[in-house]
Each structure stands twice: as structure tokens, then as C-alpha cells.
Amino acid sequence: MKVTVRLFAELRERTGRSSVILDVPEGASGTELWRCLSQTCPALTTLGYRPLLAKNGHYVSWGEPFEEGDEAAFLAPVGGG
């Protein structure tokens, strides 16, 4: 299945991409998405912290399963204000 992963801020800059479409097995977890994303974008392996994960605009744990058409986002610790 295909899952779109959106990237912002530091992750966007490191990868040079604001979104990546991953082809992963049905029900893949956030952990599996990250593994696949890190292979596609090796610059993420030296990030130095574990990003937060969002599914369709809501924070979820890395164990969360994803389905076809879901939007994932790996997010750096926030800095608003």
C-alpha cells in the first residue's frame, strides 16, 4: 500500500522533500514507516532525536498501524510561541 509521509522544518530541510510516498505492507506501523523512510532518506538517520508521529493530523504512538491513503507525518519537537 502507499502512505504519504509529510515532512516539515528540520526533517524537510534534511531530506529536501516536503512529502514522500512510501510503498509499505498493509497495516505497517509507524516504526516500519520510519525504517522505510530512513532508507529512502539517509539524512534522517543522523537526526539525533526521535520525531513525534502523527496520523491524519493527530499524534499517535510509533506502534500505530497505517492503512492505504493515510497521511503520516514525522515531526520534530515543536518550537512555536
Give residue 69's identity as a one-letter amino acid code: G
Binding mask of the shown chain, residues 45 to 64, with x at each position contacting other proteins by CB under 8 A: xxxxxxxxxx--xxx-xxx-
Does 17 interact with other proteins (rule: CB under 8 A)? Answer: no
Residue 46 CB: number of other CB atoms within 10 A? 7
Does 25 interact with other proteins (rule: CB under 8 A)? Answer: no
Q: How many chain residues are in contact with other proteins, going by CB under 8 A?
A: 40
Measured between alpha carbons, how far is 13 from 24 in angstroms, rounded to an integer? 24
* Residue 44 Rama label (left phi>0; alpha psi -120 to 50; beta): alpha
Please report, as ranges, the residues that interact with other proteins according to CB under 8 A: 6, 8-10, 12-13, 30-32, 34-39, 44-54, 57-59, 61-63, 73, 75-81
